[in-house]
């Protein structure tokens, strides 16, 4: 009984404390720069997405469902910015998850300044490693971001177009 | 009371804090990654999609359903996500040490169905959930293979892969110790470091970390020993009857023999279900105190080590050689870790006996297995392997040879569907009925030849798919398929024209006085054969076309273009040739080699020659024998030809086959008019006699026949005769089709009226 009471209180607390997450690390604006790991040059046209999910409490284990997503693209200097948007009813919304897609590149490392700064809030540089062979590109081809229809349409279409053009089905994937 | 309020307030504060700092509640994202890499790390799956099912772009094929356009791989991921929709997640537990009836999550008064049974529950729906069981996947698979409407079929394919993704989710959950030891963990979500699942999702929360996570945990799956899928379900089990349940629980581990959950080395496959491995080898937070026989404290080695948060903590490790997976650490000492670290208050983990170091070690063993066993779902679902040998004729009837390439018996109904418009959105149309619609059984690695009745579908295509529905090994209601092509070419001669050499002369005969003028026409080497190569035009089927023997000076043209050496070889995607021309065009063989290796040959055949006479004669007989005395003028012609056995003669020189007209105006056997066309192969011929004039003396004069000699001579000398007849040297032939062959052609090649007429023409020299 005590466990149930405590669990109920926890859930109530989560709802009541939804407004706790209002900082820029939660809702942005998110900024960063995407560069080539080998040359240090900016990668223009890289697609950046930020995605939030909402936890669904369950007696067994919590699960998640899609809450919201935004996308942006790097400019010629490799910079991107995803503006902050006001949201309500944010109970149990997770902190943001990021994905970056640049055709022919693989994310390698993120560097925040200062080192203990907030990712994509404080100055952040994402370095991406160029994938030089078709086999390598197929092996590391991006997956779907897992969003409902009409969300992140530019990101999703770019990934699907890239994957289609790669024609990885022509290569027998390596059997581990 | 005050103390209680304080505790509540503290709890609210802690929860608020934990939620505000809990970043990475992404359990479903882990399922997405595991499903993705289960599909990617097996060449089998993508190859199967392309080569067996004709899904051209394999796992990258985009499928649309209700506005969602996702690749096959992404639909598997979607299934991995959606299986956690409430209340489905309550059915994701399985305790391998309990009977399956009682192996599910047990929450006080309520016991939920075990995941092995949930996976095969035919009615998962209830009030809140849809049906995504194994049986639903089989049903949807069959519908996806046979649905005529392309948009609806695409949606069914999407459903199939989503459904398989949901089944993979159940298997993957069996890699989580909590799910195999009846250990619900409802508050793990309140802290990013609160549970195994949340810790894992935190490990791949940003793009670079995801790549590192994949490389570390997902890129080298550990599978299982396949014999577990040959284990029949427990006696009397009414729901989980398909051996796919053995991926979770193979009933090998009974609580006393944990070594069966380990292969020959820690990374080797084992002959055990995934839940058995997780249960026997790893603790969960609330099952550390002897709730389960293994693991236990025996043989654990304590050691102090630095925690991921930078403190020193006491851990317990299990060395190798204990018959279980080595783990360092296996668990942590149970102690709270509430402290300030780097100026920040770190909350007490809700599960103080484990931490990231323990979870990392668990993940190192179990995540590669999660991928390997999830891959097993795809491999088992698509294990049906067939080969279709192109339709063949036997005893005049069409048959299909089907090879069972699997190691399991297949017993069920086979169907064939055409796949027209394969390149632009396939249709589906039933092509034929196999074995009269009755079930057939094929032993493992054996073949069967079954009769097929063609249904002459509306759209013709060489691209077909064989669909099987029935029992495969221990699984009832299984489905398998195999696309195949029936590339076919019909070599049809349309004309054969031969230039003829003419030889004429005159002959006199004695004692029957006669004068005969004759002509003989025989073919020269100037022969030209024209023809067509008829295929289904929806796709190119020819790889090579050539003539043998090919001698210097011969000509071989395809679509008006000369083929040097008498050979055409496909270079790229150029269209199949349609018309051929050959010179000399006789006694040669035209061979068409198809892209599937089939060879079709046809002997180019045609020969026509003629002989004709015009004569006058008189007879007299001293003995008064028959025939009576007469003077006559006659003409005769005969046309010979040779014909390919697959043709029948329709007419020769304009007279239908057969013709046999005989006119006897003089009652003299050799003074009859005859018109005869005989179509007997291989040498049909046309024969005609004309009696232009005859004067017959039936009674001898009193002085005997000798008295007639002079008048007969006079009449003979004055008689004009001829000319040598020159009938048209032309024969019309028609292609003969064997029984069933025309049905085959009308089903797979063309239903148009075939230009099956072959005209053989003999050309006399100009001016002759």
Task: Give the CA diameter of chain B.
Answer: 167
User: Do B467 and B595 belong to one domain?
Assistant: no
* CB contact residues (below 8 A), chain A span 28-47, against chain B: none
> Smallest Cβ distance to B90: which of A17, A60, A140?
A60
pLDDT digits (tens, 9 = 90+) for B123-169: 887 655 689 999 999 999 999 999 988 899 999 999 999 999 999 99
Could you tell me if residue A158 is inside a domain?
yes
pLDDT at A64: 82
> Smallest Cβ distance to B186: which of A60, A143, A173?
A60
Q: A60 and B41: CB-CB below 8 Å? A: no
Number of A–B residue contacts, CB under 8 Å: 181
For B332, the token pair is 């942590």
| A132–B contact, CB cutoff 8 A | no
> Smallest Cβ distance to A163: which of B32, B71, B178?
B71
User: Do B104 and B230 belong to one domain?
Assistant: yes
Residue B198: closest CA among B18, B17, B10: B18
Nearest residue of chain B to residue A164 (CA atoms) = B60
Q: Give the residue from B485, B501, B522 where a domain finishes.
A: B485
CA-based nearest distance A149→chain B, Å: 5
When scoring A14, A47, A60, A163 by the number of chain B Cβ atoms within 10 A, the one with the most, hence best to mutate, is A60
Q: B69 and A163: CB-CB below 8 Å? A: no
pLDDT at B26: 31
Task: Give the CA diameter of chain A.
Answer: 61
Judged by DSSP in three states, B690 sits in strand
User: Do B113 and B88 belong to one domain?
Assistant: yes
User: Do B266 and B405 belong to one domain?
Assistant: no
What does B73-97 look like in DSSP terms, one character per residue?
Answer: HHHHHHHHHHTTSTTGGGG----TT
B574 class by beta-carbon count within 10 Å (0-12 exposed, 13-18 middle, 19+ buried): exposed
Q: A169 and B59: CB-CB below 8 Å? A: yes
Rounded-to-integer distance, Cα A48 and Cα B409, Å = 51
| B625–A contact, CB cutoff 8 A | no
Rounded-to-integer distance, Cα B136 and Cα B429, Å = 23
User: Do B461 and B526 belong to one domain?
Assistant: no
Could you tell me if residue A98 is inside a domain?
yes
Q: Give the residue from B485, B519, B549 where a domain finishes.
A: B485
Could you tell me if residue A8 is inside a domain?
yes
Residue A159 near residue B69 (C-beta atoms within 8 A): no
User: Do B451 and B572 belong to one domain?
Assistant: no
> Smallest Cβ distance to B19: which of A6, A17, A175?
A17
Low-confidence stretches of chain B (pLDDT beneath 50): 1-26, 192-193, 337-341, 345, 348, 350-351
For B248, the token pair is 């979770």
Could you tell me if residue A60 is inside a domain?
yes
User: Measured between beta carbons, which residues in chain B are less than 8 angstroms from residue A105?
Assistant: none
B372 class by beta-carbon count within 10 Å (0-12 exposed, 13-18 middle, 19+ buried): buried
> Smallest Cβ distance to A149: which of B26, B67, B86?
B67
User: Measured between beta carbons, which residues in chain B are less than 8 angstroms from residue A175?
Assistant: 41-43
pLDDT at B189: 53
Domain span including residue B412: 386-485
Rounded-to-integer distance, Cα A64 and Cα A57, Å = 9
What does each C-alpha distance from B716 to B7, B580, B615, B621, B669 come to in angstroms? 146, 54, 11, 15, 20
When scoring A14, A63, A149 by the number of chain B Cβ atoms within 10 A, the one with the most, hence best to mutate, is A63
Q: A10 and B190: CB-CB below 8 Å? A: yes
User: Do B326 and B207 belong to one domain?
Assistant: yes
| B19–A contact, CB cutoff 8 A | yes
pLDDT digits (tens, 9 = 90+) for A42-94: 999 999 999 998 888 877 777 788 999 999 999 999 999 999 988 888 888 88
pLDDT at B725: 96
Residue B49: closest CA among B67, B31, B75: B75
User: Do B425 and B566 belong to one domain?
Assistant: no
pLDDT at B73: 93
pLDDT at B504: 96
What does each C-alpha distance from B597 to B203, B387, B390, B460, B569 come to in angstroms? 52, 15, 11, 21, 13
Interface confidence, given as ipTM, is 0.86
Could you tell me if residue A176 is inside a domain?
no
pLDDT at B192: 45
Q: How many domains does chain A have?
A: 1
User: Measured between beta carbons, which residues in chain B are less than 8 angstroms from residue A109?
Assistant: 208
Residue B239: closest CA among B101, B349, B411: B101
Q: B81 and A21: CB-CB below 8 Å? A: no
pLDDT at A19: 42
Q: How many domains does chain B have?
A: 3
What does B142-202 look like in DSSP terms, one character per residue?
Answer: HHHHH-S-HHHHHHHHHHHHHHHHHHHHHHHHTTSHHHHTT---TTGGGSTTSSHHHHHHH
When scoring B17, B25, B161, B184 by the number of chain A Cβ atoms within 10 A, the one with the most, hence best to mutate, is B25
What is the DSSP pairing of strand A124-130 with strand A30-36? parallel
CA-based nearest distance A87→chain B, Å: 16
Judged by DSSP in three states, B642 sits in strand
| B285–A contact, CB cutoff 8 A | no
pLDDT at B126: 67
User: Do B647 and B734 belong to one domain?
Assistant: yes
User: Measured between beta carbons, which residues in chain B are less than 8 angstroms from residue A55?
Assistant: 25, 189
Could you tell me if residue A173 is inside a domain?
no
What does each C-alpha distance from B184 to B102, B106, B120 come to in angstroms? 15, 9, 22
The per-residue b/e assignment along B388-415, b for 16 or more CB within 10 angstroms, e otherwise, is bebbeeeeeebbbebbbbbebbbbbebb
User: Do B306 and B408 belong to one domain?
Assistant: no
First to last CA, chain A: 50
User: Do B80 and B209 belong to one domain?
Assistant: yes
> Smallest Cβ distance to A94: which of B23, B77, B86?
B23
Helix axes B134-146, B150-173, angle to 10 degrees: 160
User: Measured between beta carbons, which residues in chain A are less than 8 angstroms from residue B89?
Assistant: 58, 60-61, 63
| A17–B contact, CB cutoff 8 A | yes
User: Do B563 and B671 belong to one domain?
Assistant: yes
Q: Give the residue from B350, B381, B412 where a domain finishes.
A: B381
| A161–B contact, CB cutoff 8 A | no
Q: B69 and A148: CB-CB below 8 Å? A: no
User: Measured between beta carbons, which residues in chain B are less than 8 angstroms from residue A149?
Assistant: 66-69
Residue B493 near residue B755 (C-beta atoms within 8 A): no
Rounded-to-integer distance, Cα B278 and Cα B282, Å = 6
User: What's the pTM value of the predicted model, to 2 decimals?
Assistant: 0.79
> Smallest Cβ distance to B71: which of A110, A144, A174?
A144
Domain span including residue A69: 2-168
Taking the C-alpha atoms of B29, B119, B290 and B338 in order, what is their torsion angle to the nearest 10 degrees? 20
Provide the 8-state DSSP code for B472. E
| A154–B contact, CB cutoff 8 A | no
């Amino acid at each position: 009984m005590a466990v149930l009471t405590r669990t109920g209180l926890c859930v109530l607390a989560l709802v009541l404390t939804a407004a706790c997450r209002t900082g820029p690390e939660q809702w942005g604006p998110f900024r960063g720069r995407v560069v080539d790991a080998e040359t240090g040059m900016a990668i223009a046209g890289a697609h950046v997405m930020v995605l939030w999910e909402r936890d669904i409490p369950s007696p067994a284990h919590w699960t998640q469902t899609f809450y919201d997503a935004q996308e942006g693209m790097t400019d010629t200097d490799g910079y991107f910015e995803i503006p902050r948007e006001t949201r309500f009813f944010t109970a149990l919304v997770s902190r943001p998850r990021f994905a970056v897609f640049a055709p022919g590149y693989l994310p390698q490392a993120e560097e925040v300044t200062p080192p203990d700064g907030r990712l994509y809030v404080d100055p952040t540089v994402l370095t991406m490693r160029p994938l030089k062979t078709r086999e390598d590109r197929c092996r590391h081809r991006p997956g779907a971001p897992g969003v409902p229809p009409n969300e992140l349409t530019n990101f999703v279409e770019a990934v699907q177009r890239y994957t289609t053009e790669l024609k990885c089905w022509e290569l027998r994937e390596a059997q581990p | 009371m005050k103390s209680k309020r304080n505790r509540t307030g503290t709890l609210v504060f802690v929860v608020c804090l934990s939620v505000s700092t809990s970043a990475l509640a992404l359990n479903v994202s882990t399922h997405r990654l595991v499903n993705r890499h289960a599909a990617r790390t097996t060449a089998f799956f993508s190859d199967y999609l392309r080569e067996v099912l004709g899904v051209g772009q394999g796992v990258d094929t985009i499928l649309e359903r209700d506005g969602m356009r996702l690749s096959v791989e992404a639909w598997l991921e979607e299934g991995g996500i959606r299986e956690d929709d409430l209340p489905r997640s309550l059915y994701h537990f399985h305790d391998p040490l309990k009977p399956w009836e009682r192996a599910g999550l047990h929450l006080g008064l309520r016991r939920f169905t075990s995941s092995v049974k949930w996976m095969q529950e035919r009615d998962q729906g209830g009030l809140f959930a849809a049906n995504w069981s194994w049986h639903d996947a089989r049903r949807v698979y069959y519908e996806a293979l046979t649905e005529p409407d392309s948009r609806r079929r695409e949606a069914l394919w999407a459903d199939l892969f989503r459904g398989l993704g949901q089944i993979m989710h159940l298997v993957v959950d069996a890699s989580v110790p909590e799910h195999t030891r009846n250990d619900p963990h409802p508050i793990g979500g309140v802290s990013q470091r609160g549970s195994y699942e949340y810790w894992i999702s935190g490990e791949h929360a940003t793009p670079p970390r995801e790549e590192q996570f994949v490389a570390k945990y997902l890129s080298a799956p550990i599978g299982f020993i396949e014999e577990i899928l040959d284990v029949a379900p427990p006696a009397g089990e009414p729901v989980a009857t398909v051996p796919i349940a053995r991926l979770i629980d193979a009933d090998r581990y009974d609580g006393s023999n944990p070594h069966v959950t380990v292969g020959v080395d820690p990374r080797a496959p084992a002959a055990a279900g995934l839940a058995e491995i997780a249960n026997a080898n790893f603790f969960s937070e609330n099952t550390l105190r002897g709730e389960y026989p293994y693991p236990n404290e025996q043989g654990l080695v304590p050691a102090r080590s630095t925690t991921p948060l930078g403190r020193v903590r006491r851990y317990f490790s299990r060395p190798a050689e204990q018959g279980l997976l080595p783990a360092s650490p296996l668990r942590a000492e149970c102690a709270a870790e509430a402290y300030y670290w780097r100026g920040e208050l770190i909350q007490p983990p809700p599960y103080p006996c484990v931490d990231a170091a323990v979870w990392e070690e668990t993940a190192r063993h179990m995540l590669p297995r999660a991928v390997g066993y999830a891959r097993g779902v795809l491999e088992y679902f698509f294990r049906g392997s067939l080969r279709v040998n192109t339709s063949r004729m036997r005893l005049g009837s069409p048959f299909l040879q089907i090879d069972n390439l699997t190691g399991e018996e297949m017993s069920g109904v086979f169907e064939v569907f055409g796949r027209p418009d394969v390149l632009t959105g396939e249709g589906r149309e039933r092509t034929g009925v196999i074995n009269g619609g009755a079930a057939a059984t094929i032993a493992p690695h054996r073949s069967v030849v079954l009769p097929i009745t063609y249904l002459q579908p509306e759209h013709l295509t060489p691209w077909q798919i064989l669909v099987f529905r029935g029992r495969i090994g221990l699984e009832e209601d299984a489905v398998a398929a195999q696309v195949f092509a029936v590339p076919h070419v019909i070599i049809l001669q349309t004309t054969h024209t031969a230039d003829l050499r003419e030889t004429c002369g005159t002959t006199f005969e004695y004692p029957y006085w006669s004068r005969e003028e004759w002509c003989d026409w025989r073919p020269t080497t100037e022969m030209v054969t024209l023809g067509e190569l008829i295929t289904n035009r929806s796709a190119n089927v020819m790889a090579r076309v050539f003539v043998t023997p090919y001698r210097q000076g011969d000509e071989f043209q395809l679509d008006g273009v000369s083929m040097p050496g008498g050979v055409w070889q496909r270079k790229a995607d150029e269209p199949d040739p349609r018309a051929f021309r050959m010179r000399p065009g006789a006694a040669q063989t035209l061979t068409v080699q198809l892209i599937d290796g089939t060879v079709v040959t046809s002997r180019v055949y045609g020969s026509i020659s003629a002989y004709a006479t015009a004569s006058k004669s008189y007879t007299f007989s001293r003995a008064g024998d028959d025939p009576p005395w007469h003077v006559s003028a006659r003409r005769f012609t005969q046309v010979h030809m040779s014909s390919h056995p697959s043709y029948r003669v329709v007419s020769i020189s304009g007279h239908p086959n057969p013709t046999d007209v005989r006119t006897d105006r003089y009652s003299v056997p050799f003074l009859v008019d005859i018109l005869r066309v005989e179509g007997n192969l291989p040498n049909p011929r046309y024969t005609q006699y004309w009696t232009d004039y005859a004067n017959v003396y039936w009674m001898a004069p009193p002085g005997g026949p000798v008295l007639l000699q002079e008048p007969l001579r006079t009449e003979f000398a004055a008689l004009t005769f001829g000319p040598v007849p020159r009938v048209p040297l032309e024969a019309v032939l028609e292609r003969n089709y064997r029984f069933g062959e025309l049905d085959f052609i009308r089903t797979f090649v063309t239903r148009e009226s075939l230009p099956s007429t072959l005209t053989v023409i003999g050309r006399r020299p100009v001016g002759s």
